[in-house]
Amino acid sequence: MSKIDIKVEEKYEGTKIREYLKYDHNLSSRFIKNASCDGRIKVNSKVVKMNYILRSGDMIEIELNKDEEQDIEPQNIPLDIIYEDSDILVVNKPPYMVVHPTKSHLNGTLANGLLYHFKSNGENCIVRLVSRLDMNTSGLIIIAKNQFSHMALSRDMQKEDFKKYYLAVTHGVLKDKNGTIDLPIYRPGEGSIKRIVDDRGQRSITHYKTLKSFKAGELLELELETGRTHQIRVHLSHIGHPIYGDSLYGVEGDEKLIERQALHAYKLEFPHPRTGENMVMQCELPEDIKSLIEKL
């Protein structure tokens, strides 16, 4: 479905279409403005201005597709697609893959592969990332396939029914097997990649639960209540249980066991941007983390 169809109920008669779409259908002002300027909002099959006064029974049609381009080279890169429909795509990103092109990684990124996938299927989509992962973190990423779904998902990420779960293998044995880490995270300098726990930072909340214990570590399930850069890695390192293989926040010598941080975004729960249906996506641990657990 490349459009949204809405029949105006009697109680909304006399309302301006701009206010109706914004407050009764939770569409952002930016989305409404862009769609209106492109002539993609119609009432009873005719393009209207946003001061149009609605009448009972009016049929509003919002076209979602628009001509868009992105300065990214499409590349035939295999993708592990967990779910896809006309609005969203959920992919299981492998470790060592950069999500979006940078000066040092112009090719071979997830975005390069996604653009090839869209073009191969005849879809006029650009890559709209709803969530991101570090290069060496594996797992689920949501991509919006149109401006509407990106707007809705970005809005809903702040709500309680949008949940992100991770699995991590950590050093040491935690005294409390379940708990919450509520510590502010701060970036000490503009040129710094590393984050620290510091009172000057933003409030950051990570919930954790122990799934398995080993002599030299544990397998944790973690749920993010906030989404700060490196949040899980910073929090676990700060409490003395860094993630195995974490070269930035961990300990030396882990490369003999695993070559990257043992962190995997394994589960997502979120409302579908169009239907509101609760979507639950899940993927297995990658082989390198499974191998690490066997070694431990």
In order, the DSSP letters of 56-96 are TT-EEEEE-------S---------EEEE-SSEEEEEEPTT
In the annotation, is 134 catalytic? yes
Query: What does the DSSP 8-state code read for residue 159?
Result: S
Q: Quote the tokens at residue 17.
A: 């279409």
CA separation (Å) from 178 to 154, 181, 211, 213, 221? 29, 10, 10, 12, 9
Q: Is 284 within 8 Å of 203 (Cβ atoms)?
A: no
Please say whether the dihedral angle defined by the alpha carbons of residues 280, 82, 126 and 1, taken in this order, is positive or negative. Answer: negative
Q: Quote the tokens at residue 198.
A: 């510091």
Count of CB atoms within 10 A of residue 179's CB? Answer: 14
In order, the DSSP letters of 281-292 are EE-PPPHHHHHH
In the set 5, 58, 134, 176, the catalytic residue is: 134
Please say whether the dihedral angle defined by the alpha carbons of residues 49, 50, 51 and 56, taken in this order, is positive or negative. Answer: positive
Give the rounded distance of the alpha carbon of 247 from its chain centre.
24
Q: Which residues are catalytic?
A: 134
